[in-house]
Amino acid sequence: MYSYALLERDCYYLIQEKEESPIELVKVNFETDYCLYLSKFSDSTLLEWKKKSDDIFEILELLDDDKVKEWQNVQKDSEGTYNYEEDD
């Protein structure tokens, strides 16, 4: 079992909070002595505080800069996928 204290600021991670939970992409935006302010990326971005002592089931991977850029390009390309209007 891991904890949020292992995550570093300004880094992107693929994590699994609980054994049966989905894989999530998170970024540590801000750090205090006891907490982290995270971005969680899915269909939209969720910003939330986590205690450093909160458990993480598994830290799957720290994404390098190239992977982050690749993911950002995929996100940008998919943003227009659902934004269309139908003519009546």
Model confidence, pTM: 0.81
Is the separation of the CB atoms in 58 and 2 below 8 Å? Answer: yes
Give per-residue pLDDT as tens, 44-62. Answer: 889 999 999 999 999 999 9
Greater model confidence, 26 or 81: 26
Domain count, the chain: 1
Q: What phi and psi values does residue 68 have, to the nearest 5 degrees? A: -65, -45
> Is residue 40's pLDDT more than 70?
yes
Which domain does 35 fall in, by range? 2-79
88 belongs to a structural domain: no
84 belongs to a structural domain: no
50 belongs to a structural domain: yes
Q: What phi and psi values does residue 16 have, to the nearest 5 degrees? A: -130, 110
87 belongs to a structural domain: no
Longest dimension (CA), the chain: 56
- Where does the pLDDT of residue 87 fall: very low under 50, low under 70, confident under 90, or very high at 90 and above? low
Average pLDDT, the chain: 89
Enter the tokens of residue 42: 């899915």
Interior CA angle at 11 toward 70 and 68, to 5°? 0
Give per-residue pLDDT as tens, 10-19. Answer: 999 999 999 9
